[in-house]
Structure 1
Amino acid sequence: MGRSIGGSWQGVVSTAVLYGSLALFTSVLHNVFLLYYVETFVSVYKIDKVSFWVGETVFLLWNSFNDPLFGWLSDRAFLSSPQTGSQVTSPEVVLKRLNALSANGPLFALSFLAFWVAWARPGLQFLLCLCLYDGFLTMVDLHHSALLADLAVSATDRTRLNFHCSVFSALGSLSVFLSYSFWDKEDFYAFRLFCLTLAAFSILGFFLVSRLLRRRFEKEVRPRQDEALALKELCVGHAPLTSPERPVTIRQYLKQLSKHKNFMWFVSMNLIQVFHCHFNNNFFPLFLEHLLSDNISASTGSILLGISYVAPHLNNLYFLSLCHRHGVYRVIRWLFLLKLGLSVAMLLAGADHVFLLCIFIASNRVFTEGTCKLLKLVISDLVDEDFVVNRRQQAASALLFGMVALLTKPGQTFAPLIGTWLLCAYTGYDIFQREPVKDIPGLDAAPGSGTQPLRLGCFHMLVFVPITCALLQLAVWSRFTLHGRKLQGIKSSRQGAQHSSLVDVKAI
């Protein structure tokens, strides 16, 4: 976190490592959830199509609105004018985030366990599990992401924090490698024990790390805060003799946000990105089964699956170094161009090149997830712009992260719904049917061709979805202006405001 942070170099690194390790305790569970929750309810619990669609629709609404709701509940005290008499200091903000993580982290792990034991009718369990899991995941993710904007302002400091998150997220993705060995639709006992072990590890990790961070923060910052408050009491005429203004209401905040053009362009791009990321997660096993299973061994499929989950985090370490040299905006644009180029090349090569398919399926997920890992840096920059433009007393980090999620998380629900609809419409294959694929009318091999319609349909989904997403994202991203000199001006303004605070939060 550089020279801007007080304390020794070792102390800074230790704090950054502790912050990054929180990503481990989330990713070790969330990657398993993303990979297996649809397959579990469809193939193991035998959920019917209507219940699945109803559950996903309700989940869409809850998944979208709980982020701004929790963000507003967390940050509403910060949405006051700079002249408000009772101010909330930066140290109090950070301690509040850490307290929320220590409470909600273990609950998130417990909600993860609810998926893997049948305790109600499949439709009801599907709905309740999704809503409980996403509620606690939202609390954990909001406060962890908000800490990125609260602990550091400069791009260098935030990049270093994100670097540690990527390292620990990569370690968390190793759970995907292990999960493949325990996954068995016919005998679920071993997989349940595996998930129980992961949850216990996550609970212990959240409890210990959040406690260590709280103690370190209080030890380093409290003395400075007490000294600053004592000096403030000795100052005469420091605060203006004006009546405090009312805090900003949610209606006023939404009006301010609607005028934030860079925010609107960003969420438009990010909605497409969230859709594409979850499309890859939901249909990765399907692509392996129908495009590669006849040509690769089970062990090769396991390795390909594991690499696709671990490599994005390791690759992100390189992307972060590029961001440091060229800026986040340029790197994200390059990744969109790369996604478009690889997809067009795969389309031209065709579905019969197994080696190229293996590389493309893995690389498509690696670069798409790599882009997602960089977006928190952009949201943190939007927090800075919102802080400066609206002259806030304290940056409403969690609330802005929540508003981004409100407008982008629908992509998470659209991915399985649109994907299953496209597959059924294009090939006639319904994943909810109980008959073997080979017995479905219309899925026989095409005359004069060795390529089955189902396989060809999967291939077209595999290449046309990223092509469409990349073209739309490039068009939207070109309208985003928070980069270059404008971004540097925003950061300089916020850093000036931070230095005038009672205590600089970066003292940890």
Structure 2
Amino acid sequence: MDLMLMSWCCFRLPTAVVYGSLSLFISILHNVFLLYYVDTFVSVYKIDKVSFWIGETVFLIWNSLNDPLFGWLSDRSFLSAQQSDEQISSPDVVLKRLKALSRSGPLFAASFLVFWVPWAPAGLQFLICLCLYDSFLTVVDLNHNALLADLAVSAQERTKLNFYCSLFSALGSLSVFSSYAVWNKENFFSFRIFCVTLTIFSGTGFSVSSWLLQRQFQNEAKVKCDEASVLKKLRIGEAPLAQDSRLTLAEYLNQLSRHRNFLWFVSMNLIQVFHCHFNSNFFPLFLEHLLSDRISLSTGSFLLGIAYIAPHLNNLYFLSLCNRFGVYKVVRGLFLLKLVLSTVMLIAGPDHVYLLCFFIASNRVFTEGTCKLLNLVITDLVDEDFVLNHRKQAASALLFGMVALVTKPGQTFAPLVGTWLLSFYTGYDVFQHDPVLNAVTTQPVAKSSEAWINTVRQGCFYLLVFIPFICALLQLLTWSRFTLRGKRLQAIKSRRQSVSPGGLEDIKTI
């Protein structure tokens, strides 16, 4: 009966829905990870500062290198010039990515679980858990994002795929709300049970969704194989095609270094990744020092929850704008909006509570919303890379990996730069605090006075306002040099579709 039910579902669910559901199983774990992993190791496992920064430094190196490494391992076979008859978005390519997801998805869920039970010295566990978790997350993200470029070529179809990703990501963000009911630093048992439940749900979801997608594309791969066999028989007696050598990584990097739009994009995206993680890392700090004595605890929790869910819901509207005006104009508009809001907040000052609440929340909402749209830009870069270098197969996962290689350092620079600036201008060190009073213990008593509190508050306010202001200016400058838009983008997409008439023009229904 279960097999019959799954078979019935297999022929009912649209591919876009099943593809988007994978975002649910990623976000339901990753949002909880981002929110609690630092607090768990600092407040619960009592990791020391040196071990924490050693772990973050090693994580920075591995986090940057594993994306291009896994991308190259995934796509190196597609870069061979020998496969001259292979279609760009062929079922074989999609099937390979789905098999990788079916293996790495449950392992990603399992790696999430090892954070919440102490099984080694805090410093060693922190290092191993971060690298293990990020490895499986990278494999899942690379293959999931690469499918966005492989399942469809047209901007409308890719926008549809991204729409369902945003919808399911918003649902996955509800785990942040649920986590507040069980989060307790003194009694960790309930939170561990909660994490086990999330792990089981996510691992099962990965298995079912990838199975549904694999079933569809296995059938297509079989048909394609039969057609290729017939074509091979018809070509008997023809002169064999010239066989070129397989593209090496050095040659690929040389090609990428001449890809000007790629270089301008990663320059802009590095700033974007920095700003996104800066908002995530310092959101609780801003609430504590700018609003804690002005709003209720429930209001602060509501702001935090909205800041995680609203970017995905808001992205649904942004995607509709992308269909009308193009991704380039929407992203440029979001940069301008970030610049305007920062200027208004700077002029208004830190004493307007409601405006401050709106700015703190909207700053994260619009910044995260921009990050979600940039995957569409990377898929356009995949198309341009394919056309410019006359590839036989689009190296989707590898290009996503190369983008991550350049931009992932922003993920580590965000807490480093933020804590350094805060300490430099105010003397506040987030690692030196009393666990009960949450006050800096290394400071003289005078510095716990109202004057010192106001100094910390003023430092947090300037950090809150000037970071997005500077980021917006730099991003507008770099984004203006990006030329993959308008008629050029249409020409690139037309060229890719004409070269691969067998590619997936429309999203199929399972």
Alignment TM-score, normalising by the size of structure 1:
0.93
Aligned to 2:311: 312
Greater shift after overlay, 384-393 or 285-294? 285-294
Deviation at 1:240, TM superposition (A): 5.5
Alpha-carbon distance between aligned partners in 2 of 1:483 and 1:240, rounded to the nearest angstrom: 41
Contact 1:77 1:88 in 2 (8 A): no
* Contact map agreement 1:445 1:453 (CA 8 A) in 2: no
Single out whichever of 12-21 and 55-64 deviates more from structure 2: 12-21
1:117-136 aligned at under 5 Å gives the runs: 117-136=117-136
1:37 CA displacement: 1.2
Q: Which amino acid aligns with 1:317?
A: L
Question: C-alpha offsets along residues 404-431 of structure 1, whole Å, 9 cap, x if unaligned?
Answer: 0000001111111111111111111111
Provide the C-alpha distance between the structure 1 equivalents of 2:440 and 2:249, rounded to a whole number of angstroms: 55
State the SS of the aligned residue for 2:351: coil
Change in 2 beyond 3 A, CA 1:15/1:380: same
The residue type equivalent to 1:244 in the other structure is Q
Deviation of the 1:500 alpha carbon = 5.1
User: Secondary structure, in 3 states, of the residue corresponding to 1:346?
Assistant: helix
> CA separation in 2, counterparts of 1:37 and 1:348?
35
Match of 1:488 among 490, 493, 500: 490
Which stretches in structure 1 are left out of the alignment for 5+ residues?
A: 1-9
- The verdict on how the C-alpha distance between 1:57 and 1:451 changes in structure 2, with shifts beyond 3 A counting, is closer
On the 8 A contact 1:343/1:464 being kept in 2, the answer is yes
1:443 aligns with 2:442: no
Matched, 1:427 2:426: yes
Distance 2:306 2:364 in 1: 10
Q: Specify the SS of the correspondent of 2:390.
A: coil
TM-aligned CA distance change 1:506 to 1:296, over 3 Å:
closer
Query: Displacement of 1:347 after TM fit?
Result: 1.1
Match of 1:398 in 2: 397
> What do the CA deviations read for 1:103-151 (whole angstroms, capped 9, x no partner)?
0011111111111111111111111111000000000000000000000
Query: Is 1:190 the counterpart of 2:223 in the alignment?
Result: no
> Per-residue deviation at 1:218?
2.1
Q: Which residue matches 1:7?
A: none
Aligned length, in residue pairs: 494
Q: Secondary structure at the match of 1:401?
A: helix
- In structure 2, the CA distance between the partners of 1:438 and 1:391, relative to structure 1 (3 Å rule), is closer
**Amino acid in structure 1 at the alignment position of 2:417:** I
Q: Which residue of 1 aligns with 2:372?
A: 373
Shift of 1:507: 5.5
Which SS does the other structure have where 1:116 is aligned? Answer: coil
Q: Could you give the per-residue CA deviations for residues 360-400 of structure 1, whole angstroms, max 9, x where no partner exists? A: 11100000000000010000000000011101111000000
Cα distance in 2 between the residues matched to 1:349 and 1:12 = 54
Match of 1:271 in 2: 270
* Pairing 1:4-19 to 2, within 5 Å after superposition: 14-19=14-19
The correspondence of residues 225-374 of structure 1 with structure 2, limited to 5 A, is 225-236=224-235, 241-374=240-373
Is residue 38–residue 282 contact of structure 1 (8 Å, CA) maintained in 2?
no
* 1: CA distance, partners of 2:250 / 2:439: 52
Query: Separation in 1 of the partners of 2:299 and 2:457?
Result: 19
**Alignment partners' CA distance in 2, 1:225 and 1:452:** 69
- Looking at structure 1, the residues matched to 84 and 475 of structure 2 have their Cα atoms a distance apart, in angstroms, of 44
Contact 1:347–1:463 under 8 Å retained in 2: yes
User: What residue identity is the alignment partner of 1:217?
Assistant: F
Measure, in 1, the Cα distance between the counterparts of 2:196 and 2:122.
20
Give the whole-Å Cα distance in 2 for the aligned partners of 1:443 and 1:200.
48
Distance 1:338 1:504, change over 3 A: closer
Q: Give the root-mean-square deviation of aligned CA atoms.
A: 2.0
Residue 204 of structure 2 corresponds to residue 200 of structure 1: no
Q: CA 1:294–1:438 in 2, change beyond 3 Å: closer, same or farther? A: farther
Is the CA contact (8 Å cut-off) linking 1:43 and 1:185 kept in structure 2? yes
Residue 167 of structure 1: aligned partner:
167
Q: Distance in 2 between matches of 1:197 and 1:364?
A: 32
Cα 1:324/1:506, change in 2 over 3 Å:
closer
Shift of 1:290: 1.2
Tell me whether 400-409 or 120-129 shows the greater mean CA deviation.
Answer: 120-129
- CA distance in structure 1 between the partners assigned to 2:322 and 2:507 by the alignment: 22
Matches of 2:154 and 2:236 in 1, distance apart? Answer: 32
Deviation, 1:226, is: 3.8
Task: Summarize the Cα distance change of 1:238–1:141 in structure 2 as closer, same or farther, 3 Å threshold.
Answer: farther
Cα distance in 2 between the residues matched to 1:480 and 1:94? 29
Taking the aligned partners of 1:354 and 1:239, their CA distance within structure 2 comes to: 77
- Whether the 8 Å contact between 2:303 and 2:361 is mirrored in structure 1 is yes
Q: Closer, same or farther in 2 for the Cα pair 1:344/1:237, shift >3 Å?
A: farther
* Residue aligning to 1:459: 461
- Residue in 2 that maps onto 1:409: 408
| TM-score, length basis structure 2 | 0.93
| Cα drift, residue 87 of structure 1 | 4.9
The Cα offsets for residues 85-114 of structure 1, whole Å up to 9 and x where unpaired, read as 685872111111000001001111111111
Unaligned runs of 5+ in 2: 1-9
**Separation in 2, partners of 1:437, 1:451:** 10
Q: Please say if residues 29 and 109 of structure 2, whose CA atoms lie closer than 8 Å, have aligned partners that are also in contact.
A: yes
Q: Deviations over 1:464-489 (max 9, x none)?
A: 11111111111110110000000000
Residue 32 of structure 2: aligned partner? 32
Q: 1:49 to 1:238 in 2, by over 3 A?
A: farther
Alpha carbons of structure 1 residues 228 and 238: separation in structure 2 relative to 1, 3 Å: farther
| Cα offsets for 1:449-476 (capped at 9, x unmatched) | x961111111111111111111111111
Percent identical = 66
* Offset from partner CA, 1:307-364 (integer Å, 9 cap, x none): 1000000000000000000000000000001011111111111111111111111100
Aligned to 2:70: 70
Deviations for 1:42-66, whole angstroms, at most 9, x for unmatched residues?
Answer: 1222211111111111000000000
Structure 1 stretch displaced more, 250-259 or 180-189: 180-189
Instruction: State the Cα deviation string for residues 285-320 of structure 1 (Å, max 9, x = none).
Output: 111111111111111111111110000000000000
